[in-house]
Structures are given as structure tokens and as C-alpha cells.
Amino acid sequence: MNNSCSRINEEVVEILKQTKAEPAFVGTIKEGCECKYTIINLKDLEKYIGIGAKQDLAVILDHVQGNIEHGREEDGKKPFNSYIVINIDEPYINDIVAVLEANGHWDGQPSQGSVIQKMKQEICEAADLHLQAILELQRIQGMVHSVDDPVTRSIGVALIELEAKFHKIHDVWSE
């Protein structure tokens, strides 16, 4: 778990430990998710950690990494992995999450961008179906009654009003 626990009260820490939710993710697209990786920015390490602590860390990490590499090899895996790290506060993060989701590699909540994208897609599909239904009804109506028939005119007006309202909703969601 990330060391950011020291910034929150102990009751919250205990709850987060039980749920395995990472407190550093609060307020982000990863809120409520478990931490799977520990990332140390080397610039932060240089800036904030003294030489003695860095040397101690290097010895410990070397030992730990050696054990992990050995264990991975015994499991028939490559001894180490390489990763791309992206800060979750980047303005393009929803695009990245959408790609991860599309490839089954996102373990977080659906991103707000992908939820909105899905809603837009569903609205477009509904608009297409709606227009097809209106055109089909108008085609059938034209075969049964003439356009000037007062009985069918009210159906036509209702369809036009419905279509206008639907387009207004569609336009709002498409923005």
C-alpha cells in the first residue's frame, strides 16, 4: 500500500486495508481499486532521499528483484517485465483507459470518458433506429391514406414533433 496513508485518519486506513483500495487513487479514475504496482520516480528519489537511504534501498531492491527474476524463470516466464507508466492526471488518460478497456487490460471502474462514449454510441444507434421507424411509418401511412387526410395528418405531426425532440436530445448528448 502507498505511504500516503499517513495523511488520512486511522479508521480510514483500516477500512482501506480491508477493501484493498488504494488511498492515493481517491478522486481519480482508479478510485476504489487495489494498488498492483509500486512506482518510484527516479527524479523524486534523487531529490528527496539521502545517499544512505538510496544505498540501502539499492541493496534491498537488488535482493528482491533477484528473487523475483529467479522465481519468474522457475515459472517459465521472462525474468523481468518492462512497463509504460502514465500519470492518471494526464489530460489524455481517458483515451488510454479506452484502449486498455478495449483490450481487456483495465481493472478499474469504467472511465467517465468511455461511459460517455458508450452513451453517445447508443444514442446514435437509437437515432438511426428511430429515423428508420419514422420513415417506415410514413411510407406505410402514404400507402394507406393520402397526406391531406385529417386522420393521418395528426399522426404525421406527432411523428415530426417526436423526431424534433429526439434530435434535440441527440444533439445535447453528441456535444
Cell of 34: 487495489
Report the C-alpha gap between 10 and 23 in whole angstroms: 12
- Residue-level pLDDT, tens digit, the chain, 175 residues: 444 444 455 665 555 455 566 777 777 777 777 777 788 888 999 999 999 998 998 899 899 889 999 999 999 999 888 888 888 888 898 888 888 888 777 766 555 555 566 677 777 777 777 777 777 777 776 666 555 555 555 566 667 777 777 777 777 776 6
Count of other CB atoms within 10 angstroms of residue 44: 10
- 162 CB contacts (<8 Å, ≥6 apart)? 134
Backbone angles phi, psi at 32, to 5 degrees: 85, -5
Report the C-alpha gap between 126 and 136 in whole angstroms: 15
Cell of 18: 480491508
Report the C-alpha gap between 116 and 113 in whole angstroms: 5
pTM over 0.75: no
Residue showing cell 505511504: 3
Q: What angle do CA 78, 81, 85 make, to 5 degrees?
A: 170
Q: How far is CA 24 from the centre of its chain?
A: 17
- 108 CB contacts (<8 Å, ≥6 apart)? 29, 30, 32, 33, 97
